Amino acid sequence: MATDVMAAAILLKETFKKYAGTDKDKDTMSKKEFAEFLREDIGDIDTTKESDEFFSQLDEDGDGVLQFEEFAMLLFAFCEIYEGILKSS
């Protein structure tokens, strides 16, 4: 039986797999694939510019694609956003 943390990690990996490689390499997520993920799973990103900026922040090595480790940084970003919302309310 998976713990809540393990279930979250598995879900994050499965989400990455769902979008990564739809255009080429299954081990990386392109900017186009990332934009599709944001539209379908997040829904709060309204413009290509916002999507591109977010992608650039996550693409730490600057190779133009996201590896899973870079994609996983979303979890930290969302935790920080959520913590900020809690503190301001």
Q: What is the pTM of this model?
A: 0.81
pLDDT recorded at residue 49: 86
pLDDT recorded at residue 31: 93
**Phi, then psi, of 25 in degrees rounded to 5:** -75, 120
CATH code of the domain covering residue 44: 1.10.238.10
Number of domains in the chain: 1
pLDDT recorded at residue 34: 92
SS3 6: helix
DSSP 8-class letter at 63: S
Q: Could you list the residue range(s) of the whole structural domain that residue 79 is in? A: 4-88
Per-residue pLDDT tens digits of the chain, which is 89 residues long: 679 989 988 999 999 999 998 877 899 999 999 999 988 888 777 778 888 988 999 999 999 999 999 999 987 777 787 777 777 77
